Amino acid sequence: MLPQSLSESLGKLGRIAVLTGAGISADSGLGTFRGKDGIWNKMRPEELASMEGFLANPQLVWEWYTYRRSLLAAAEPNPGHKALAEWQGIHPDFTLITQNVDGLHQLAGSKNVLELHGSIRVNRCLNCGSETENEPQVFKDHVPYCSCGGRLRPGVVWFGEMLSEATLTSAFEAAQTCDLFLTIGTSAAVYPAASLPEIASAHGAVTVEVNIEETAFTRLADFHFAASASVAVPMLLDAWLVHHPLSILRHEK
Ligand code: APR
């Protein structure tokens, strides 16, 4: 059961913005970066997720991304991803911003996803800048190359790199103008993504955090759900639907 005050807040139809992090994909079997079994507890981000690390050892970095892509091949969107896709389908004034590079939101049916940190499914050429999801055809020392002869890198944002200005501008605009901001499965440790719920809160939005643990944002959040995203997000959607006549559009499962 949701707190009455949250249920009333959900009753206000308005603009919804959502920020997700690795935690929403945890129930799809993908690892998170921080916390007790975090990826960064076992590996050094500077070596595997930075341009310096890539230039120093492109083969190691490609081995790591190829391994992560193999995990993705077995991963399916979970009820948390699916509920967000359904919510957007019913209420178009809904902006989904993610730090994740796994593409599971899109696989669940979410549209116009703002991928702040890029996509692991994309290869980008260091020479001509072309981007593709197709399997590379040319390899030298186990490192893929573009047909132009340039070296390929994963299409993700590495530590120390700038985010896409257009994507970030859209994300900031959504945080500044929304009535309800959901922050789901993120440690709120990495900026500028972590500033989005703070901006939403400062602009008067109702802020709801879904995380199995407390985070740096918890003390600011209006509501904190200490629950798994795959359980809590469908519950939030159900509570929102109770208040909205749009629920007649929801197809019974
Ligand atoms: N449901 C909800 N939250 C969960 C779940 C779950 N099932 N499992 C884990 N979490 C929470 C953890 O408690 C943690 O707060 O998800 C959060 C994951 O935090 P991080 O591992 O730091 O991932 P994220 O916040 O997405 O990291 C941000 O850091 O390394 C960079 O670019 C990388 O995009 C990433 C960014």
Which fold, 1-30+77-117+163-253? Answer: Rossmann fold (3.40.50)
CATH number belonging to domain 31-74+123-156: 3.30.1600.10
Q: Does the Cβ of 201 fall within 6 Å of ligand 1?
A: no
Known catalytic residue at 117: yes
Reported as a single tens digit per residue, the pLDDT across 98-132 is 999 999 999 999 999 999 999 999 999 999 999 99
Domain with CATH 3.30.1600.10 in the chain: 31-74+123-156
| Contact in structure between 229 and 80 (CB atoms under 8 Å) | yes
What was the pLDDT predicted at 8?
79
Q: How far is the CA of 118 from the centre of ligand 1 (A)?
A: 16
SS3 77: coil
CA distance to 21, 40, 89, 98, per residue, from 95 (Å): 15, 29, 11, 10
Reported as a single tens digit per residue, the pLDDT across 3-34 is 777 877 787 778 999 999 999 999 999 999 99
**Alpha carbon nearest to ligand 1 atom 28, residue:** 190
CA distance to 153, 163, 219, per residue, from 50 (Å): 11, 13, 31
Q: How far is the CA of 124 from the centre of ligand 1 (A)?
A: 25
Among the ranges given (70-79, 190-199, 242-251), the one the predictor scored with the smallest mean pLDDT: 242-251
Domain with CATH 3.40.50.1220 in the chain: 1-30+77-117+163-253
Reported as a single tens digit per residue, the pLDDT across 138-149 is 999 889 999 999
